Amino acid sequence: MAKLYNTPGVAFTDKPEQYRETLAQNEMNPLRSVYRSLVNMGAASCTTAKEKKHTTITNFIAINSFIGSLVYLVIAIIWDNWFYFGSVAILTVASMATILLNSFNYNISARILYIIGINVAVFFNTLFSGGETGADSFLILAVVLPFIVFDIKKPAYIVLGVLLPMFLLYTYSSVAPYFIQYNFNAEQQLLLKRINILFEVGLLLSAVYQFLQYNSEIEEELESSNAAMMMQTNELKRSNGDLEQFAYIISHDLKTPVRNISSFMNLLVTKHGSSLNPEAKEFVTYSHSGAKRLERLIDDVLAYCRIGTNLSKPIPVNMNDVVNTLKFELREKTTAANANIVIAKELPIVNNVHASLMYHILQNLINNGLKFNATEEPEITINWTNSLNHYTFSVSDNGIGISKEYSTTIFQMFKRLHNEHEYDGTGIGLAICKKIVEYYNGEIWFESETGKGTTFYFSIRKF
């Protein structure tokens, strides 16, 4: 299976030479390596691709703001305007704090801080530099910012990010006259306007580059994921082929000699039974019984392996019909044991299932309720409840009960709680039930008290 090496911002398949080549490029260009690390700060811990994208974009914008703020800080020092220096410093600190918060996985807080910081910084920057610098155009760009760094499905953050720059733009004309004395002169404002335009163009170009780079990484990750899925699909096809071959071997190559053993044991008893001594007859009986048990075991393993394969199209199944069929088939057994199978209330029609699999579940659970029962009048009660997404069925008996310590192991294959001489069976029945229920995305469990009966529950999804 292809895997991704955990290198910041770069996706690789499991080709060592490609991995080494990229590491070498990063070593030769340390600035690029630092830049990629900063852009991906906190992205590795994001749980979704969308969250990772927003975190990466926020870091990218914060890095560009930080670099731009350094240029403006130098301008403020050269032109000796320390009020302007302070307004730019707000942007510097906000940019650094944004990346830092992302590194500690405070992604939402980082974005909110950045949006507030950049708007406040630009607002005071415009007040202290002068209206002719065009710095207020950054507030117009800031209106678009929340749509880039936040999920559009989170309107509270979008509203905050849009209303704040709009409010500052609205109040600028009223506040600006009080700051004229701190403005740059006309020549300086004209030069700063040109610098602002260059910075806006540079920001746009770097955004395009980042967009292309991000798409390239996504394509590499998608390609790697597709390759991994293709390998898994091929492996699944191979496994299914092996399973079908295994089922064929069980149904044909193994069952045939077992049947032969059983048949020859019958012939031996029929033709030479009168001449066999009691010990020999006992040995033959044990051998015949073992062959029959092995044949039942093979049938159960085959049934387990075939669950979910070669099934017809799922259809609506009336669970009342399934139970009534079982009651008819078990009528001799229930009559002999003075047992009763009761439907507590009319059962539902379950969509998108298979009657044969529903039959297997109920057959196993009802048979267990009759088998593990020492009362004079065994009773099996079948009931159900309805929920939003599931039907939950219950099969209750008044039998010997099951200890709580077997709550998980009882559904394992070949798990028997009693000696085979006490209760007949192969120990696969409940494992078959569990596999069928999980095939329909349901669950199976039981509640029981020793000596007071057991209730098995299983849920089937409605859709």
**How much of the chain, in percent, has pLDDT values that exceed 70?**
80
Given this model, what pLDDT does residue 327 score?
A: 92
- The percentage of residues in the chain with a pLDDT greater than 90, rounded to a whole number, is 35
Average pLDDT over residues 106-110: 92
11 Ramachandran zone, left/alpha/beta (phi>0; psi -120 to 50): beta
Is the pLDDT score of 145 beyond 70?
yes
Kindly report the average pLDDT of the chain as a whole number. Answer: 81
Cα 362 versus chain centre, distance: 31
pLDDT at 310 over 80: no
From residue 175, give the alpha-carbon distance in Å to each of 179, 194, 287.
Answer: 7, 24, 103
- State mean pLDDT over 31-60: 85
Of 358 and 404, more confident: 358
Contact 99, 133 (CB under 8 A): no
pLDDT band of 74, cuts 50, 70, 90: very high
pLDDT score of 80: 92
The whole-angstrom separation of Cα 301 and Cα 295 is: 10
Q: How far apart are CA 363 and CA 372, in angstroms?
A: 14
| Residue of 293 and 231 predicted with greater confidence | 231
* 454 beta partners: 448
The span from the CA of 56 to the CA of 443, in Å, is: 40
pTM: 0.49
Question: Considering only 251-265, 292-306, 375-389, 413-427, which range has the smallest mean pLDDT?
Answer: 413-427
At residue 380, the pLDDT reads 93
The alpha carbon of residue 421 and the mean position of all alpha carbons in its chain are separated, in whole angstroms, by 45
Residue 15: predicted pLDDT: 45
Across 67-83, average pLDDT = 93
For residue 194, give every residue at least 6 positions away whose Cβ sits within 8 Å of its Cβ, in sequence order, or none. none
pLDDT at residue 301, as a whole number: 65
Q: Is the pLDDT of residue 453 over 70?
A: yes
CA atoms of 37 and 29, how far apart (whole Å): 13
If you average pLDDT over each of 19-33, 124-138, 246-260, which comes out highest? Answer: 124-138
- pLDDT at residue 25, rounded to an integer: 54
State the pLDDT at residue 116: 94
Token pair listed for 240: 């299914």
Please give the domain boundaries of the chain with CATH numbers for all domains. 16-230 (no CATH), 311-461 (3.30.565.10)
Q: Give the model's confidence band at 11: pLDDT under 50 very low, under 70 low, under 90 confident, else very high.
A: very low
Q: Which amino acid belongs to residue 55?
A: T
CA dist 390 and 395 (Å) reads: 16
Residue 416 reports pLDDT greater than 90: no
pLDDT at residue 424 is higher than 60: no
Alpha helices in 277-402 (DSSP H): 278-306, 319-329, 331-336, 355-371
Angle, in degrees to the nearest 10, between helices 155-175 and 107-129: 10
pLDDT of residue 384: 95
Output 437 or 427, whichever has higher pLDDT: 437
User: Of 24-38, 112-126, 267-281, 359-373, which one has max mean pLDDT?
Assistant: 112-126
Residue 277 has pLDDT above 60, yes or no: yes
Name the residue among 433, 453, 462, 427 with its Cα closest to residue 445: 433
Please state the three-class secondary structure of 33-51 as a single string.
HHHHHHHCCCCCCCCCHHH
**Burial class (CB within 10 angstroms; exposed 0-12, middle 13-18, buried 19+) of 243:** middle
Residues 52-78 have a mean pLDDT of 91
pLDDT band at 299 (very low <50, low <70, confident <90, very high): low
pLDDT score of 237 more than 80: no
What b/e sequence results for 335-352 when a residue is b if at least 16 CB atoms lie within 10 Å of its CB, and e otherwise? Answer: eebebebebeeebbebee
CA-CA distance, 124 to 88, in Å (whole number)? 8
Highest averaged pLDDT of the listed ranges 116-130, 242-256, 298-312, 413-427: 116-130
- Residue 419, pLDDT > 70, answer no
Give the span between the Cα atoms of 317 and 351, in whole angstroms.
Answer: 6
More confident residue, 268 or 40: 40
Q: What is the mean pLDDT of residues 405-423?
A: 60
Question: Strand 444-448's sheet: what is its strand order?
Answer: 340-343, 379-386, 390-397, 454-461, 444-448
pLDDT of res. 3: 40
